[in-house]
Structure 1
Amino acid sequence: MNQFFDNMPAPTVTVTATTVSTHPWREQQTTIGSFAAINDTQLTTEASGIVNNILFDNATSVKKGQLLITLDASVDEAELRRLESVAELAQLELRRYQRLFKDKNISESELKRKESEAKQAIAAVDSQKARIEQKALTAPFDGIIGIREVSLGQLIAPGTAVATLTSVTPIHLNFTLPEQQLSTLKNGQTVSATISAQPDEVFTGKVTAISPVVTPSSRSVDIQATFDNPDAILRSGMFARVSLDQGEETQNVLLAPQSAIQFNPYGNAVFVIQAQDDALTVQQRFVQTGARRGDMIVIKDGLQPGDRIVTSGLLKLRNGSNIKISDNERVQPSEDLDPNVVNQ
């Protein structure tokens, strides 16, 4: 029995395999970020009053200067008419005093007093007009207005929230990168972003702001990019996966699936497939790896184009193990540089 087990042949291991080859490669830095509106404000009124008109629909586009709500201003308008009458009378008195002064029937100080009274009357009219304008709320910029928070006939106080107005075109993307990447950053760099709502579409923007300081707690720098967003697909608060080009030159590098690498403290290794006596065996080989992207990793040293390596089943292998390569494509690990995970 001992002799049988000592001479028992090692079982053949079923694995998956791939052939390493060169691919175009551009250095990229990946991170995550959030979209933020360039303008985003909670609309409030400056004056108190009763709401008598609501002139917008929930979640619709509005233009800058568009009238949104009006408050009852009947008392203020009546006061305005009174002040306009006072100002008109003050102007008549001023013209009469100007004629009297011209004929030297009054002193200059009396004329100055009437001029001051006329100016005060006009200022009172302007002040009342401004007070009436505060009873009307207009959009400060183009955007999409949210759900209204007031109703017709409601008495509201100054500062009462009416609705939220958010601009969507263009839109900012805020993200951070390690301070080691600061020397490679510059305004105008291309930024690519994907969102969960449309995982197959890549949105492109430009870096428009780089923070002048590094956050001490995380040793990272804040970066802001701007996206045109003409179709308003990107919305404030959306999560984004961000890719930032680190150079303009595209190089040909040797790529291998990350699933083929044994990551060890003493060095990374792969199992290279060799043909021996009409059988397939594997030989472990140490490799030097580089940057990663998606399912792939750069191989700097240790492999040559055309080498076949094992991509799954590594834990069952040792030097000289006999293998059989599975022809089931469903068990083949992915080799995508830009994989998108879709929740099912």
Structure 2
Amino acid sequence: MSNRVVNKRMLLMLLGSALLFGGIFAFKIFGSYMMNRAFDTMPQPPATVTSTAAEIQIWRESLSAVGTVRAINGVDVTTEAQGVVRAIHFKSGQTVKKDELMLELSAEPEKAQLQVLQAELRLARRNHRRTSILLERGVATEAELDQTLSTLEQVLANIEVQRATVNERRVTAPFSGRLGIRLVDLGQNVDPGQAVVSLEQLDPIYVDFFLPERYFSRVAPQQLVKLTSDAYPKRVFQGRITAIAARVDSDSRNFQVQATLRNPEQKLRPGMFAEVSVELPTQRRLVVVPRTALSFAPYGDAVFVLQRSKEGDGLVAQKRVVKTGEERGDLVEIVQGLREGEQVATSGLLKLRNGSPVNIDNANKPPAEANPQPENS
């Protein structure tokens, strides 16, 4: 057999193999295309969501600020004299009354000196009385009587000074309140002005905060203030404005406001961070939806509006970009993009796309309260 015949057979075999494999490959591509097309045209099962209608509410306007809790009276109780701690009459963290004895320093020399002065007082009184009798008999002179009176008055003054010196060795509470951690020990030698313990008056209590100057004319004493703290995230404390700074800070263009709150449980403590809301007398009428209805994105916030399908056989979700405003509790103000009464999805948003069919099941709707009242922590 010639080489020409062999080459021709080889060429036919290669051509046949190429046609075979090409047909298999084309069949695979065609099958994959038809399968994808079937999936694309397959009707999407309805997503189950909860829903609510955008509603109109009347909200009282408020101003938000960050504040710091401060005691009405708060000091470090200090010693007035130098000496050794002889007795401690308090425990860390306890409550004390005004003028209650808290600490005593050794005062034996001062007390002994007071006894000496009291003996001098008795002698001065006898001398003054004796000189008065002698003056009546004509034996003593007016000058001698004046001298004994001056001596008596000097002794009385020295006694008062010495009593004050003895009292300096006694540390008492300047006002009623709660003590902090004890800072001295029994037998310790302390100096004048050394801190013994902190003392805070906790009920009522202040919160200090700042507001921009543009609100200066809208804030007034006795306006309601609501306060929340990270320490008690589920608790809302209420008080009223009691003082407004007389001037605006020239650097920050803010002015300081002080509110007073009742604190009978002493949950609020000085130095705590606080989020403050000042209730203004004016009101606004606005459209609100639950916070859970919003889908947040860098290009804008959106909601899924639930509408009847074109065929009229069910509901579909349509994504709509909205402009949001103030937030209160579980609710968010919708400034633009939504009308009163329109139904929006409030859960299951991750399952929704434009035109997605939906079923509504409101058996377990998310909370939607402007002023939620959970159990106090």
Task: For 1:254, give the aligned amino acid.
Answer: V
Q: 1:193 Cα deviation (Å)?
A: 1.6
Query: CA 1:204 to 1:59, structure 2 compared with 1: closer, same or farther past 3 Å?
Result: same
Query: CA 1:238 to 1:326, structure 2 compared with 1: closer, same or farther past 3 Å?
Result: farther
Q: What does the per-residue CA deviation read over 1:261-295, in whole Å, with 9 as the maximum and x for residues that have no partner?
A: 68999998755443222365566767665433345
The residue aligned with 1:297 is 332
Q: Which runs of 5+ in 1 are unaligned?
A: none
Residue pairs, 1:317-328, within 5 angstroms: 321-325=354-358
Q: Which runs of 5+ in 2 are unaligned?
A: 1-29
The residue aligned with 1:274 is 307
Q: What does the per-residue CA deviation read over 1:194-219, in whole Å, with 9 as the maximum and x for residues that have no partner?
A: 23333322221111111112223332
Q: What does the per-residue CA deviation read over 1:63-84, in whole Å, with 9 as the maximum and x for residues that have no partner?
A: 1111111111111111111111
Query: CA 1:177 to 1:15, structure 2 compared with 1: closer, same or farther past 3 Å?
Result: farther
Contact 1:32–1:175 at 8 Å: present in 2 too?
Answer: yes
Higher helix share: 2
Q: 1:87 Cα deviation (Å)?
A: 1.7
Work out the number of aligned pairs and report it: 336
2:200 to 166, 187, 195: 166
Asked if 1:187 corresponds to 2:217, the answer is no
Structure 1 SS opposite 2:265? coil
Q: 1:129 Cα deviation (Å)?
A: 0.9
Distance 1:231 1:264 in 2: 43
Runs of 4+ in 1 over 6 A off after TM superposition: 8-15, 261-269, 326-329, 331-334
1:77 to 111, 132, 147: 111
Q: What does the per-residue CA deviation read over 1:179-234, in whole Å, with 9 as the maximum and x for residues that have no partner?
A: 22222211111111223333322221111111112223332221111112112222
Q: 1:118 Cα deviation (Å)?
A: 1.3
Task: For 1:146, give the aligned amino acid.
Answer: G
Asked if 1:244 corresponds to 2:278, the answer is yes
Query: CA 1:238 to 1:11, structure 2 compared with 1: closer, same or farther past 3 Å?
Result: farther
Distance 1:184 1:223 in 2: 12
Deviates more, 1:289-298 or 1:144-153: 289-298
Residue pairs, 1:220-259, within 5 angstroms: 220-247=254-281, 253-257=286-290
Q: What does the per-residue CA deviation read over 1:132-180, in whole Å, with 9 as the maximum and x for residues that have no partner?
A: 1111111111111122122222222211221111111111111222222
Task: For 2:338, give the aligned amino acid.
Answer: L
Deviates more, 1:109-118 or 1:84-93: 109-118
Q: Greater CA radius of gyration, 1 or 2? A: 2
Contact 2:70–2:206 at 8 Å: present in 1 too?
Answer: yes
Asked if 1:44 corresponds to 2:66, the answer is no
Contact 1:14–1:313 at 8 Å: present in 2 too?
Answer: no
Task: For 2:287, give the aligned amino acid.
Answer: L
Residue pairs, 1:7-156, within 5 angstroms: 18-156=52-190
Query: CA 1:323 to 1:23, structure 2 compared with 1: closer, same or farther past 3 Å?
Result: same
Distance 1:226 1:293 in 2: 23
Structure 1 SS opposite 2:246? strand
Task: For 2:80, give the aligned amino acid.
Answer: E
Structure 2 SS opposite 1:51? strand
Q: 1:41 Cα deviation (Å)?
A: 0.9
Distance 1:266 1:152 in 2: 67
Q: What does the per-residue CA deviation read over 1:88-136, in whole Å, with 9 as the maximum and x for residues that have no partner?
A: 2112222222233344444433332322221111111111111111111
Asked if 1:203 corresponds to 2:237, the answer is yes
Structure 2 SS opposite 1:26? strand
Q: 1:24 Cα deviation (Å)?
A: 4.0
Q: 1:25 Cα deviation (Å)?
A: 2.0
Contact 1:15–1:313 at 8 Å: present in 2 too?
Answer: no
Deviates more, 1:164-173 or 1:234-243: 234-243
Identity over aligned residues, as a percent? Answer: 36
